[in-house]
Structure 1
């Protein structure tokens, strides 16, 4: 198909339970869209009010769940719901950290599972799956009546922007997420207030001063996972937007020639270069479990901040001491000339699911997702993993743990100033390989700001010039 992009419509607005944020439309490439119903092997039942997706009630269902920070108990709850509704289906749930290793060969063979939680380091390239028509169009699911209220569609129960995240340059929707992820600077409110007697830094000068104060007490300002250096971008991305505005991050998504060498990007890297040079960063976590090692050091009080996502509250629960009061802060402003204000937040939908197009039970895969988006399931999801579900008002009135409560406050404070790194979804290899390598040498002080920006731009240019990679363009 090559490199193709066509603007589809004006910029859309996306909201989450407590705030709004802008999401761009993406190009309509109708030639890439699949029919959305799998193929002739897919089993269908009789459509009815009780069975709006025409699930074949005795058709087996197989679900693959990524067993990462969210574990898999939340998914088992839904699988049990499915079995209760369709007892003859005998649903089979499998959990693994190796999604691509186990699932991709089955996609190629034409015998895939019926639903895949395509997450983790070993996830499948969703852009390639869409281009090769290996995943089903989920528009039928979005148009279906919601589990709790037949008068409301599934689409209308979800936080806006979910459908756009799953388009990948097509008219259909090929991926749906289950949570709202908040990225930023995670910290212990107890440490900040009691140990350091400080407030959360709103400017970079205040951040440097806090790191200096922490160092005097034998505490690093930051910890980062050397095995996964790209985690640093979880804290840096909103800073790019603050410094250069939405145009700066749109340039990144659009693979523009100077996206990673702009003055805005330079100012952010220069700010972090000072943190590295003054040895405020605790490193040395170089294994594949580097993120867990980093988080453990952090919960033990060895560092003030970690670059992370809102899954950390659940993932680090076993090492988090009582009274830690986990919280997330937006990235501090660089100076008064920033294009976007303090509070700008990187918060996209998270934890993606796909239904393979050649699955034998495509309808069952979509039905599982319809069940997940029910009030009963999303509230259980929250109880199990302390993550914000991607369903409007799902956790209203519930008691919230510190991290989730802090995330909700950050979302509300950000309002319209929430940004999404679409390039992570569109070009995962770029993020996970090129940018990972560039961030590794930067965080160890082996490469300068100029060299780091050049390396990241080189990676973006490589993707832009590759005719085999589908290009998606923001409008």
Structure 2
């Protein structure tokens, strides 16, 4: 956070989300404070370096001040305070903690002034532009953290405990400088109690979904709702459906802004036409186009609609309006047909909630150590308990008594095995996906645009971004 955890690096509405329109730092401000280079620590960081040992692999200096800046949105910030308490006990210092929903506005001046905090949870609608910060060498390379021993098992490195996608997603070119702490499951959310009471089964295919929608509509309930003010929420499903049906290699071409990646992919046509059909048959709750993420979630939990596209932060965010017996659950991606490139059970589940360590902070080593503490089983489980979310630590919740939504998310991830999709397009180019393409999706779902036009425009916007030299480009390997 959605983004997401989007958690979302989107909490208000996206990050992705949960957040609104992403606020990008002024390039002039950040360029003025570019430090150049990357990988090493600043002079301040070197001064706060201690002696390494088996129990202190990063070399944290006792008593050295450390500052944490945590996004306080749908996840709150108590989980971070709990980890900070353990840091305080171990290193004889009180972590300076700030919880806020305005990460970017409050920290842009500090980066410009050369005095950023050490650890930053860079989420919410007003997050910092990590692409710019990374390209300027202002983010600490976190390889040392990955190679450090875990708190639970000195024989296992941090890199051995986290999901492989965490290692991939945290890179800017060759530098690993973002640690996505949460692990978000995106998909179609529903009430297991509703389906059971009505005798409905969660659809396995697009055709099954269309048939069920007709039955749901006849019952007087809307099949779907969505946050029309933030239509990119629909992309959580739409994009991953394209990857599931067409194959990851063709989706990677879309991530990489390749020519004709949208227009030459048959899966794009199939998926977008499915949404066109849902709109044409009136399967979206009337007025959804005017709803915020909170309003659409409330309509859903109050039984006005059966399905909603969202991320696993929704259980925590929608808790105030969710009936105790709701049975929140998430379903896997739908099959398009026998030609699907990925099997049934494929799900979009990927790292979210980006944490960064400022290279120019006074104690970047302390910032990394705070992350090492957060990545312990104790704090991964604490996070799951407090905010109903998985973390980047694989298997940390095994054996725990989980809430309904989190339990469902954990089950689909486990069953999905290696068939877990990660979508980079929304992370790398939010202005493309959330603003430009979000407008297209809004028109598609109200019936004001046909699938063919959506696809044509999506390719056009992608090509424009690919040719725009002011847009930092990233490349994903196959």
Give the TM-score normalised by the residue count of structure 1. 0.88
Q: SS state of the match for residue 449, structure 2?
A: coil
Residues 1:162 and 2:166 aligned together: yes
Q: Deviations over 1:408-439 (max 9, x none)?
A: 22123322322111122222332232222222
In 2 relative to 1, CA 432–109 (structure 1 residues): closer, same or farther, beyond 3 Å?
A: farther
**Corresponding residue number in structure 1 for 2:100:** 96
Quick check: 440-449 or 342-351, which moved more?
440-449
3-state SS, counterpart of residue 78 of structure 1: helix
2:176 alignment counterpart:
173
Contact 2:206 2:274 in 1 (8 A): yes
2:71 to 66, 70, 82: 66
Measure, in 2, the Cα distance between the counterparts of 1:334 and 1:52: 49
Alignment partner, residue 136 of structure 1? 140
Please state how far the C-alpha of 1:116 moved relative to its aligned partner. Answer: 0.9
Q: Alpha carbons of 1:91 and 1:446: their partners in 2 closer, same or farther (altered >3 Å)?
A: same
Judge which range, 253-262 or 179-188, deviates more.
253-262
SS at match of 1:282: coil
DSSP-derived class of the 1:397 partner: coil
2:74 partner SS: coil
Asked if residue 210 in structure 1 is aligned to residue 212 in structure 2, the reply is yes
Instruction: Please state how far the C-alpha of 1:457 moved relative to its aligned partner.
Output: 1.7
Change (3 A) 1:339 1:161: closer
Q: Per-residue CA shift, 1:232-285, capped at 9, x if unaligned?
A: 011112210232112221111111111222321111010111111111112545
What is the distance in 1 between the residues matched to 2:199 and 2:413?
25
CA distance in 1, matches of 2:433, 2:128: 13
1:44 aligns to 2:56 (yes or no): no
Q: Give 5+ residue unaligned stretches, structure 2.
A: 1-34
Higher RCO (Cα < 8 Å, 6 or more apart): 1
Distance 1:242 1:286 in 2: 27
> Which of 382, 386, 390 in structure 1 is aligned with 2:388?
386
The CA RMSD over aligned residues, in Å, is 1.9
- After TM superposition, the structure 1 = structure 2 runs for residues 432-471 of structure 1, keeping only pairs within 5 Å, are 432-471=434-473
Distance across 1 between alignment mates of 2:98 and 2:437: 31
**Is 1:125 matched with 2:129?**
yes
Counterpart mapping for 1:418-433 below 5 A: 418-433=420-435
For 1:432 and 1:135, how far apart are their aligned partners in 2?
25
1:467 CA drift (Å): 2.2
SS of 2:413 mapped into structure 1: helix
Which residue does the alignment assign to 1:344? 346
Shift of 1:58: 2.4
Please tell me whether the aligned partners of residues 221 and 280 of structure 1 are also in contact (alpha carbons under 8 angstroms): yes
In structure 2, the residue matched to 1:12 is none
Decide whether the 8 Å contact of 2:148 with 2:158 is kept in 1. Answer: yes
**Conservation of the 8 A alpha-carbon contact between 1:423 and 1:431:** yes
